[in-house]
A and B are shown apart, each in its own frame.
Chain A
Amino acid sequence: MSALQAGEVVLEGAGGTLVNSDAGRRSLRRLWRLKWGLGAALVLLLIVAVTLAAPWLAPFSPVEVDIRHRLGPPAWMEGGTTEHWLGTDQIGRDLLSRMIYGGRVSLLIGVTAVAISSTIGVLLGLAAGYFGAKIDWIIMTLINVMLTFPFVLLALAVIAVLGPSLTNMIFVLGVAGWPIYARVIRAETMALREREFVVAGRALGMSHARIIFGQILPNLISAITVVATLQIAQVIILESFLSFLGLGVQPPTPAWGNMLGEGRVYMLNSWWIAAFPGAAIFVTTLVINLMGNALRDWLDPHMKL
């Protein structure tokens, strides 16, 4: 939870933490210090906007095959044309269009998977932290099992059964990712459980549900947000992992991960096929991380993450 900074007055009530408006100026200064995070956020916004505008921005269809122009280099290289700014892939599809459309898929996977795992993780973390004892023990064991059980194995096994598809992948990523949230939320819940407003709530006869969702959860939003943001980056990386194993998004649907996988044999000569999606993953993950760090510093600098 937010610790008291010199000069900041904090009011606590039954609903959680309120910050005195006098500290507004301090917040602005903090914001400036987080300019890197803000810059990163802007870049991220740009990326998201571009991918959302895919149908209008992309010069070609991402699945349009043009065998005669395959392996075309980017426009600024010898042999490249301005028709295909980033070149073409091994069957002549325009790389720029595939990058833009692929971003949609990769980001969609990231956001949806995180939504699923955060929901599961938060619920389980709350239960473990709040109720303690047996329930905590069961959930902690579950967390440990899930964390020790290699994700790759799980993914391989599940997708081998269900078949590789976008939905199944999101399912696997979502279901496999909850332990991180659970651990963080559990720790925070345990700390909060002893605070006065919770104890007071119990004394007043509030139901568990009301305390958990009405009092504890709102204080955890910052923690959840930070973890979730950072996890989106993680999921995007995992998607490329799965594509490497052949379990990812299936061709011809473009996603940065599977574009990278398809292009890996070409890294020695037609390097652009793998380089651009790789760069996209790199930049996106980077800005998400920077933004997430800034978010954490802004919301709750003392979070142990």
Chain B
Amino acid sequence: MKRYALRQLVQLAVVVVGISMLAFAILHVIGDPVLLLLPQNAGKEEYERYHKLLGLDKPLYVQYWKFASRAVQGDFGKSWYTNTPAFKLVVERMPPTLYLTTAGLGMALAIALPLGILAALKRHSLVDNLCTVSAVAGQAMPIFWLGIMLIIIFAVRLKMLPASGYGTWQHFLMPAFTLGAFLAPITMRLVRSGVIEVMSTDYIKTARAKGLAEWMVVAKHAFRNACIPVITVLGLQFGQLLGGAVVTETVFAWPGVATLTVDSIRNQDFPVVQCAVVLLALIIVTINFVVDMVVGYIDPRIRVGG
């Protein structure tokens, strides 16, 4: 178990470093923030001075090294747009996004688990296809479309929920559902195939032979084993959620880090973008790491297989 953990940790570190390098490279190719930062009528010498000041004249790898060595200490520099420490800005807005994505994942599971199991048990029937349709519906509807529809129905027409903003649990419902609906299809598909596979194993046949009621068979045994592939993929899906999070956050005026990142890219506010990307990556790989540990614990085969 220890060796497995160590291997995964190394992978984790490599991935984070890789991401920070990628982000760094891309940002420095995008454009010249100096032009945005300088006031009107700035001359060429001003430009050069700023360039030097921000360290943009040194070769890329030197800049990256400076960035990396400071980043490890938690210093990601100051936002070029607002002059506050980038780390503070990002960390302030991390919790809403994390809550949103977790709640979204929770919603996705709530939708996908029952639908997936039902679909697996009644393969190829009308029920199976209806379940697929419902699950896919969430993803097929572009997030902002679904989000605005929900706002219109629940906030404008029915006046049951607040249209946007952050605060109480009522504020959570629609955004979490929107994001969850986006994740549901892939999760459902995994649950379905996981359950199907498990249902045909000897293990299940034995349980049936033992005379256990069908629902018990499903609930206790099939379900458990189907969870493994689900958990694995969910861990990775967390990363892809950022795209969905950006749209959800914009539509619901959610003060999260996804919108901060996108805004910062538009403003070419490098320190904030780098900080956000690295911290997010760290969180995502940590989650994946935990997931891998959990799964490795349950199923020793995976530890060895790698």
Contacts and interface: CB of A to CB of B under 8 A. Distances in A.
Contact of A278 (B124, B133, B142): B142
A305 B189 contact: yes
A282 B284 contact: no
B19 interface: yes
Interface residues of B, number: 55
B38 interface: no
A245 B193 contact: no
Nearest to B156: A268
A244 B22 contact: no
Interface stretch (A68-76, A78-86, A152-160, A192-200): A152-160
Interface in B1-47: 11, 14-15, 18-19, 22-23, 26-27, 29-31
Of B139, B144, B145, B250, the most chain A CB neighbours within 10 A belong to: B145
Nearest to B280: A150
Interface stretch (A56-64, A109-117, A122-130, A141-149): A141-149
Interface string A236-279: 01101100110000000000010010001001100000100010
Interface string A8-48: 00000000000000000000000001101000000000000
Contacts of A144: 11, 15, 285, 288
A148 B284 contact: yes
Interface stretch (A93-101, A201-209, A210-218, A284-292): A284-292
A149 B29 contact: no
Contacts, number: 138
A153 B140 CA distance: 22
A290 B136 CA distance: 9
A153 B239 contact: no
Contacts of B280: 150
Contact of B142 (A154, A240, A303): A240
B89 interface: no
Contact of A267 (B124, B148, B262): B148
A151 interface: yes
B109 interface: no
Nearest to A141: B14
A161 interface: yes
Contacts of A153: 23, 26, 242, 261, 265, 273, 277
A304 B229 CA distance: 9
Contact of A297 (B14, B124, B152): B124
Secondary structure at the A interface, as helix, strand, loop or mixed, is helix
Contact of A141 (B15, B196, B258): B15
Contacts of A107: none
Given A34-B124, A141-B18, A160-B31, A147 B140 contact: no
A281 interface: yes
A7 to B, nearest CB: 16
B289 to A, nearest CB: 11
A305 B193 contact: yes
A64 to B, nearest CB: 26
A111 B299 CA distance: 38
A36 B129 contact: yes
A240 B140 CA distance: 11
B84 interface: no
B55 interface: no
Given A148-B281, A149-B22, A153-B242, A241 B145 contact: no
Contact of A156 (B22, B149, B262): B262
A169 to B, nearest CB: 15
A54 interface: no
Contact of B124 (A33, A160, A240, A245): A33
Given A153-B277, A290-B129, A290-B133, A147 B239 contact: yes
B197 A302 contact: yes
A264 B145 contact: yes
B185 interface: yes
A237 B243 CA distance: 11
Given A241-B243, A302-B197, A304-B193, A145 B265 contact: no
Contacts of A148: 15, 19, 236, 239, 281, 284-285, 288
B148 A264 contact: yes
B11 A245 contact: no
B30 A286 contact: no
Nearest to B265: A156
Contacts of B187: none
9 contacts: A36-B129, A140-B11, A145-B15, A153-B265, A244-B247, A268-B156, A278-B145, A281-B142, A293-B189
Smallest CB-CB A-B distances: 9 pairs: A285-B140, A150-B242, A152-B243, A145-B18, A240-B142, A157-B26, A36-B129, A148-B239, A33-B124
Given A145-B22, A160-B31, 15 more contacts: A142-B18, A144-B288, A149-B22, A150-B239, A152-B243, A153-B277, A161-B29, A244-B247, A278-B142, A285-B136, A286-B136, A289-B132, A290-B136, A303-B193, A305-B189
Interface of B: 11, 14-15, 18-19, 22-23, 26-27, 29-31, 124, 129, 132-133, 136-137, 139-145, 148-149, 152, 156, 185, 189, 193, 196-197, 229, 236, 239-240, 242-243, 246-247, 250, 258, 261-262, 265-266, 273, 277, 280-281, 284-285, 288
